Structure 1
Amino acid sequence: MHLVDEPDDRKIHVLPMPRSGGISMAIGAFLPVLIWVPMDNMIRAVHLGCAIIVAFGVLDDVKNLKYWQKLCAQVTGALVVMIYGGVQIRCIGGLLPTVVSLPLTLLFIVGVTNAVNLADGLDGLAGGLALLSFVSIGFLAYQCANTYLALMCIAVSGAILGFLRYNTHPAVVFMGDAGSQMLGFLCVVFTLMLTQANTPYSEITPLFLIGFPIIDTLTVMGERMAKGGSPFKPDKNHFHHRLMKLGLFHSESVVLIYLLQSMFLCCAFLLRFYSNLLNLLVFIGLACGIVFWFYLSQKTRFKFRNGNESILGARSFLARLGGEHLSIRMFFALLKWVFCLVFMAQCLIPQEIPVYISVFSAGAIIAIFYSRFRASIHTKMVLRTSLYCITPFLMYESILYPALWVTHQVMMVHYGALVLLILAVIGTLNLTRRENGFKFNPQDFLIFLVIIVFSALPSSHLNIPELRTVVAGVLILFFSGDVLLGELRKDNTFLDNILIACLSIVMVRGFL
């Protein structure tokens, strides 16, 4: 099908890469909506407009369409959702006449679609930015009882998350124009559906929800026109290119942009009930601050690092702490035994163990023993699956329904052990020399960021305040288990013995 992205002077990758990820994301996003969301004109219009964008995006990935052909497809998709679906910018502090509303909406939809498309310059960048935006839109939609929009955001977020598993640096597949244009189109349409409906949110909120791609695109186009060139001529002056020129590695550049986008999303959440003028002033202030920082960095020739040594010097500091060999042994031993004690505590603290958890534990024990004697079965995959499936249930039961003997002091010791586990993970990751061990990547950071932020929301936004602690504890055990699986030698049965012992306790307690 010739769905291959060839490297050139403007691109970061050096080998041809398949760019079929957009097709997979489209299928993953559309099917759940078709099953769960009732159809009306607006939902049908979103599907039809998005289908046009994806179809022409695939053609562009195969044949490299001319810019005016892509623009025609984007305009057609936008007109479908505007005319058939009724998605329009009708109000910005006051009602807008149709002669202004239609062209303004068309310009905004097409502009943002291209902005997200242009942001697809590093592995995981466009997908991660879109994921942060869709999660935020879905949450705000849920808060104002727009259930259908929230469900559509969840479906798209799930499709992106599955794609990022293979697109995080080093990527093995690209989303192509089909994927990046689809994400940009859905993102801008969903923000208009959120803020132009009967909601109390500011009509300027979409600028924050799509903040970084908008600023990046406007800045690059403005610089091109200032130099007398075409605003649509591609170059390597996007913010992600500049971060790498400042000395950041590929993954570090992506993570820093995630943080900048998160700053805009926090503003969207905090200022959603304030006036349009205040929202606009804050957005302009943040945008000018980011642009000025890049300008100042370029003028002063600032660098984040010299050579391969990070300005943070984390590895060097830990290495000097008693020598690398001693330090890694200390942190790894701490990681192993604290993880063992914390996981054992999850099995003992709950007042009761539901029978279904015991049944699963029995099946996991059998699977672990079976994997030991069958070379064709990957033991680490069985261990990881068992750990991921059992941990959320045990942590939930431990935090919400502890046994009578579990006092406040016992729970404080438990929380302290979780903090100690974090320190052991950080130390191990900074000192390890294993090439095939656990590597913390931008997708891990993205998941960590989303979960921690939503766990830290005021308790009024969560039905059960203790769920924040549950989510944080589950996240810590997940990453600790992954680090252990990456660092333990193949012939070491430490982790599977611990899991067998803990699962046996859970099985017995549930059946008694």
Structure 2
Amino acid sequence: MNFLAMLGTALCSFILTIIFIPFFINFAHKKKAGQMIREEGPKWHEKKSGTPTMGGLVFDVAIVLTAIIVPLIMNELSVQVLILDFILALYGSLGFFDDSIKLMKKQNEGLKAWQKLLGQIVGGVIFLVVYKLEGLPFTLNVFGWHMNVAWVYALFVLFWLIGFSNAVNLTDGIDGLVAGQAIIAFGAYGIIAHVQHQNDVLIFCLAVIGALCGFFLFNKKPAKIFMGDMGSLALGGALGAVSILVQHELSLLFIGLIFVIETASVILQVISFKTTGKRIFKMSPLHHHFELSGWSDWKIDVVFWSTGLIMAIVSLWIIL
């Protein structure tokens, strides 16, 4: 896949996003469909209340359209790119219902945890069925050592898709943070897919990058729109799926280190509070700890993105 084709793919989703995001923002303002802010969150977040959310709807649609139209034009449409579109759309739909309930009830609680988990499991099972029918290997690449136990790999895939979907969702709490970090992660896997000549997976990654670059223009501080669960759940599930299709699943622990650390901070905070009654962090996820320590949104973004970029470069150097 040449440079012009790659640039054109990213531009396609970028243009679709920047065209329709302003319309969506105006529509949301008219309908008064704004974000409900957590009461226990930092007090200065209250001024963000009412900011349009569910921006993930726009870039999810832009990604899916681009990742279908471009492969069709280039004769690269495959089951792999379609299953990536499916995971993005299904997990995005779960986020849509979650966000919609929050807006209707005017509170920061949407779907129940078991409802969200059930939907994620269903998506994971369908992914596994398609994966099996395509004859793709049920083999986990553990840093060069390959584990060939099908049922263990199947459980791992479910855990991976669900885990990273929720991890990206937890990270989405600072203007621009997830958009920037996801661009870095999908960029790394796009490079891996390019080296492997998996043009279908590369096209999907480029579609995500283009759409998120467009979205970032409106999501950077001060954010005019949030992606909502519809965006973060979809991106996390798709990221996990991409790492599986390029057969470098565990590399996501490093390429997606920021998502891992954010999730770990929540788990450690809960364990510490329930066992000792004390908190490790001022607030979790970790970005809120730095907020309460006096860091600005931009400082948190730059430090987290820099960490993610360094880990992505190191991971690519090891893998490639």
- Report deviation, 1:3: 4.2
Structure having greater relative contact order (Cα 8 Å, sep ≥ 6): 2
Partners of 1:132 and 1:3 in 2: CA distance: 30
Hey, what does 1:223 align to over in structure 2? Answer: 269
Alignment of 1:198-277 (within 5 A): 204-228=250-274, 236-273=283-320
Alignment of 1:237-386 (within 5 A): 237-273=284-320
**1:264–1:10: structure 2 CA closer, same or farther, 3 Å change rule?**
farther
Hey, what does 1:98 align to over in structure 2? Answer: 150
Three-state SS of the structure 1 residue aligned to 2:85 is: helix
**1:80–1:39: structure 2 CA closer, same or farther, 3 Å change rule?**
farther
Kindly indicate whether the alpha-carbon contact (under 8 Å) linking 1:32 and 1:155 is maintained by their aligned counterparts in 2.
yes
Hey, what does 1:139 align to over in structure 2? Answer: 191
TM-score by length of 1: 0.49
**Alignment deviations for residues 30-69 of structure 1 (CA, whole Å, 9 cap, x no partner):** 1111112233333322222322211121110011111111
**1:83–1:3: structure 2 CA closer, same or farther, 3 Å change rule?**
farther
TM-score by length of 2: 0.77
- Report deviation, 1:245: 2.4
Unaligned runs of 5+ in 2: 1-30, 102-109, 276-281
**Alignment deviations for residues 441-500 of structure 1 (CA, whole Å, 9 cap, x no partner):** xxxxxxxxxxxxxxxxxxxxxxxxxxxxxxxxxxxxxxxxxxxxxxxxxxxxxxxxxxxx
Letter in structure 2 aligned against 1:71: L
**Alignment deviations for residues 127-164 of structure 1 (CA, whole Å, 9 cap, x no partner):** 11101111111112112222111111111111111111
Q: How many residues align?
A: 262
Letter in structure 2 aligned against 1:228: K
Partners of 1:129 and 1:75 in 2: CA distance: 25
**Alignment deviations for residues 364-415 of structure 1 (CA, whole Å, 9 cap, x no partner):** xxxxxxxxxxxxxxxxxxxxxxxxxxxxxxxxxxxxxxxxxxxxxxxxxxxx
Hey, what does 2:170 align to over in structure 1? Answer: 118
Kindly indicate whether the alpha-carbon contact (under 8 Å) linking 1:60 and 1:177 is maintained by their aligned counterparts in 2.
yes
Kindly indicate whether the alpha-carbon contact (under 8 Å) linking 1:89 and 1:104 is maintained by their aligned counterparts in 2.
no
- Report deviation, 1:11: 3.9
Three-state SS of the structure 2 residue aligned to 1:135 is: helix
Hey, what does 1:393 align to over in structure 2? Answer: none
Kindly indicate whether the alpha-carbon contact (under 8 Å) linking 1:195 and 1:205 is maintained by their aligned counterparts in 2.
no
Hey, what does 1:155 align to over in structure 2? Answer: 207
Kindly indicate whether the alpha-carbon contact (under 8 Å) linking 1:88 and 1:105 is maintained by their aligned counterparts in 2.
no
Hey, what does 1:442 align to over in structure 2? Answer: none
Partners of 2:149 and 2:259 in 1: CA distance: 28
Q: Percent identity?
A: 24
Work out whether 1:52 is the aligned partner of 2:90: yes
- Picking from 64, 84, 89, the partner of 1:30 is 64
Kindly indicate whether the alpha-carbon contact (under 8 Å) linking 1:192 and 1:206 is maintained by their aligned counterparts in 2.
no
Kindly indicate whether the alpha-carbon contact (under 8 Å) linking 2:81 and 2:204 is maintained by their aligned counterparts in 1.
no
Hey, what does 1:497 align to over in structure 2? Answer: none
Partners of 2:295 and 2:269 in 1: CA distance: 23
Q: Compute the RMSD of aligned alpha carbons.
A: 2.0
Letter in structure 2 aligned against 1:16: G
Kindly indicate whether the alpha-carbon contact (under 8 Å) linking 1:89 and 1:192 is maintained by their aligned counterparts in 2.
no
Three-state SS of the structure 1 residue aligned to 2:173 is: coil
Partners of 1:264 and 1:169 in 2: CA distance: 24
Hey, what does 1:16 align to over in structure 2? Answer: 50
- Report deviation, 1:2: 6.9
Three-state SS of the structure 1 residue aligned to 2:148 is: coil
Partners of 1:23 and 1:204 in 2: CA distance: 29
Kindly indicate whether the alpha-carbon contact (under 8 Å) linking 2:184 and 2:309 is maintained by their aligned counterparts in 1.
yes
Unaligned runs of 5+ in 1: 197-202, 230-234, 274-512
Partners of 2:83 and 2:198 in 1: CA distance: 17
Kindly indicate whether the alpha-carbon contact (under 8 Å) linking 2:94 and 2:116 is maintained by their aligned counterparts in 1.
yes
Partners of 1:10 and 1:125 in 2: CA distance: 20
**Alignment deviations for residues 166-192 of structure 1 (CA, whole Å, 9 cap, x no partner):** 000000101010000011011111111
